[in-house]
Amino acid sequence: MSETLRKIRSETLQRPQALLTGEWALFLDIDGTLLEHAEHPDAVLVSDELRSLLQGLDRKLNGALAFITGRSVAAVDQLFQPLKLRAAGLYGLEHRFSPDDDVEIADEPADIAALADEIEAELGRGQVYIERKGRVLAIHTRAAPHLLARATQLVEQALASLPKGYRVVAGNAGVELLPLEAAKGAAIRRFMDIAPFVGRRPVFLGDDTPDENGFEAINDAGGISIRIKPSAHTAAQYGLGGVAETLTWLRGQL
């Protein structure tokens, strides 16, 4: 079935079933899903209650829980310390298949660094936050929403001068430049090929445009896809009203 046909209107989404049964694996976006968005990515706070919830879910699933996020794995560890979980960072450019594994860090290419400098010079330091994540470049405009269109235009124009293999993804409050291989769906599939995920039914919760690729991979695998606070057409099968409702639903799975 084509991607267009698989998209459904957000207002038709129902809540996911109250209790997941059987053998399942859980994949979680972070910002906008587990944590409310902030004007700056470093301004979010993780409560002890959330750490305890994630630890409990990880224990229940015998380790079949992983973050699937645009943040780097190092940033995730800093945010949730001392808790360390399996994770795919930078949309799958980084992986940690076990909490004790090392992570190969994605370096920033010179052309992406130069582009970041140019965008920051034009849009103004302090108005937008330019997040340099190796081969991923994110321009956050939550503090200056009027600059989103211009930020998107600058990144799209830059595609012509960059090596092939990049794409632009516009989100709820910013725009990102990503390598084609940086995709949440591919990251989820890598986890599903290894223990303790293999053979389980996958469940993925996310809230933004980059999560759509993950929803499609989950649907193809016969899993459960859930979009948080849906506001547009989506491939997700179910919806939850926001972070608070998401945490309540997750607590119900313990």
DSSP line for the chain: --HHHH-B-GGGPBPPPSS--SSEEEEE--BTTTB---SSGGG----HHHHHHHHHHHHHTTT-EEEE-SS-HHHHHHHHTT---EEEEGGGTEEESSTTS-----PPPHHHHHHHHHHHHHH-BTTBEEEEETTEEEEE-TT-GGGHHHHHHHHHHHGGGSPSSEEEEE-SSEEEEEETT--HHHHHHHHHTSTTTTTSEEEEEE-SGGGHHHHHHHHHTT-EEEEES--S-BS-SEEESSHHHHHHHHHTT-
* Domain residue spans of the chain: 9-101+182-251, 110-179
Active site residue 48: no
Tens place of pLDDT for every residue, the chain, 254 residues? 334 334 544 456 888 987 888 899 999 999 999 999 877 777 788 999 999 999 999 999 999 999 999 999 999 999 999 999 999 999 988 999 999 888 877 678 888 888 888 888 888 766 788 888 888 888 888 888 888 888 888 888 888 888 888 888 887 778 888 888 889 999 999 999 999 999 999 999 999 888 999 999 999 999 999 999 887 789 999 999 999 999 999 999 99
Reply yes or no: is the peptide bond before residue 41 cis, omega within 30 of 0: no
Nearest to 28 by CA among 180, 224, 167, 221: 224
CATH of domain 9-101+182-251: 3.40.50.1000
Q: How far apart are CA 231 and CA 145, in angstroms?
A: 17
Q: How far apart are CA 244 and CA 75, in angstroms?
A: 23
Find the catalytic residue in 29, 31, 77, 207.
29
Q: How far apart are CA 145 and CA 139, in angstroms?
A: 11
Do 9-101+182-251 and 110-179 agree at the fold level? no
CATH topology of domain 110-179: Gyrase A; domain 2 (3.30.1360)
**The token pair that represents 212 in the structure block:** 């759509």
Q: How far apart are CA 90 and CA 71, in angstroms?
A: 5
* pLDDT value at residue 112: 86
Instruction: Give one word for 222, left, alpha or beta, with left for phi > 0 and alpha for psi -120 to 50.
Output: left
